[in-house]
């Protein structure tokens, strides 16, 4: 990880930049989907529960 010397930047400016970054990240909609893989035999055995999807 690259370390930057921020000692010459005022605390207020750093705080403002952090708030802008957080606001920007909150505006972005991120959809995360996780799917469980199973063999065909497992899917046939567990037909009712063979597909799972999580959203965060």
Answer whether residue 2 shows pLDDT above 60: yes
| Cβ-proximal residues to 56 (8 Å cutoff; 6+ apart), any chain | 30, 32
d(CA 4, CA 20): 19
Answer whether residue 50 shows pLDDT above 60: no
Q: What integer pLDDT is reported at residue 12 of this predicted model? A: 92
Answer whether residue 15 shows pLDDT above 70: yes
Closest CA to 41 of 32, 51, 33, 50: 50
Mean pLDDT in residue range 41-51: 69
């Amino acid at each position: 990880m690259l370390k930057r010397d921020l000692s010459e930047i005022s605390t207020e400016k750093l705080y403002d930049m952090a708030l802008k970054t957080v606001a920007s990240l909150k505006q972005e909609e991120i959809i995360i989907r996780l799917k469980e893989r199973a063999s065909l035999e497992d899917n046939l055995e567990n037909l009712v529960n063979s597909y799972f999807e999580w959203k965060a």
